[in-house]
Structure 1
């Protein structure tokens, strides 16, 4: 008489930790150029929809699975990697983001006779490089970054201006520092980036 059948391990239910490990492999592969952003989004969506180990196998079978484990300090938070692009509008009003929040890889802000304040000192980043596009018309925006964040300002001022981050607080950058790229157009308005120490 045959004994009970052994359960198929590939049909076992996976945990959130299993999903996060696969997501780390995907993010690391994208950082190395093995996946483009569209492929990364598709595979991350499949990863967090997976229910069993069998569901996870095809997601990473063409990737080197050890990459994320070799450089865990560079793998961003799993929730951050899933942050969707954000679009904000402040007309005769204001936008205020501060504290613990996730800066998506792409974020756009439009102000007209209004203002925006983005404090990144307590934020996490969805990617090693994020782009914040700020377009202002008779309005303004202020972006605050901590010393360890690299800043690239590419904005255009038309009877207005883009400025910062200056040298009042020196940068303290290393190989793991995220980059914040600030771009857009300021017409009769201004966008300033300043570097401050964490509170």
Structure 2
């Protein structure tokens, strides 16, 4: 009896501490950004919705903050994708590696222009420097191209042809983030999305008048005499 009385007088065990929230990594943020990128390209999200969610992605500190941003969207590879149609650009194998190109300017300048093939993703970083990306003569190997721009006391400028779709979403803190959005008449025209974060700096994306992306398939056929 004494043992039973003693057991009843024991205070209840303290609750187990809650597991700490798992911190989000850059790979976690990129995964969510990729899902949002596909969603805006497929028309599941508007440009405004995409911009709002992308901004939340790069502000998120934990995985729990990221998941609600894509709860209403299909997982990568989980839904049927539309069949590719003939496009006004030079398509590449979608299974090819998609390594990002990095353009960095620290107390310096970095320029990418002329006839070059832009990949699916480009990262631009300017710290007391200047990055210039000119896509007016670039070869688009895919319909969707994403440029992630960061400017700290620096400048990032992107110039695109007039006949593509240009969208963007970002933040300027004591700085400037400006994207002149475009909607191409051709539904298969390349889409360029600018994600940016500027602190005491400038990020700007605009069309370059008089510059238009060419039908590369037609050029190739003409060159080969077909």
Same fold (TM over 0.5): yes
Q: For residue 190 of structure 2, what is the aligned residue in structure 1?
A: 178
Q: Secondary structure at the match of 1:154?
A: strand
| Inter-CA distance 75–159: structure 2 relative to 1 (3 Å threshold) | closer
1:187 aligns with 2:204: no
Aligned residue number for residue 198 of structure 1: 211
The offset of 1:96, in angstroms, is 0.5
Q: Is residue 140 from structure 1 mapped to residue 155 from structure 2 by the alignment?
A: yes
| Cα distance in structure 2, aligned partners of 1:120 and 1:75 | 13
Residue 78 of structure 1 deviates from its aligned partner by: 3.0
C-alpha distance after superposition, 1:68-124 (max 9, x if no partner) = 6xx343674338965631122110111101111112111111110000111101112
Structure 1 residues 106 and 172: alpha-carbon distance in aligned structure 2, compared to 1, 3 A threshold: closer
Shift of 1:129: 1.0
How high is the TM-score relative to the length of structure 2?
A: 0.52
Matches within 5 A, 1:1-199: 36=77, 71-73=85-87, 76-78=90-92, 84-165=99-180, 172-196=184-208, 197-198=210-211
Alignment length (residue pairs):
136
Q: 1:171 to 1:72 in 2, by over 3 A?
A: closer
Partner secondary structure for residue 144 of structure 1:
strand
TM-score (norm 1): 0.58
Pair member with larger Rg: 2
The question of whether the paired residues in 2 share the 8 Å contact of 1:89 and 1:110 is answered with yes
Unaligned runs of 5+ in 2: 1-40, 43-73, 78-82, 213-226
Contact 2:166 2:183 in 1 (8 A): no
SS state at 2:87 partner:
helix
**Superposed CA offset, 1:133-189 (max 9, x none):** 0001000111001111111110110000111326xxx76531111111101210000
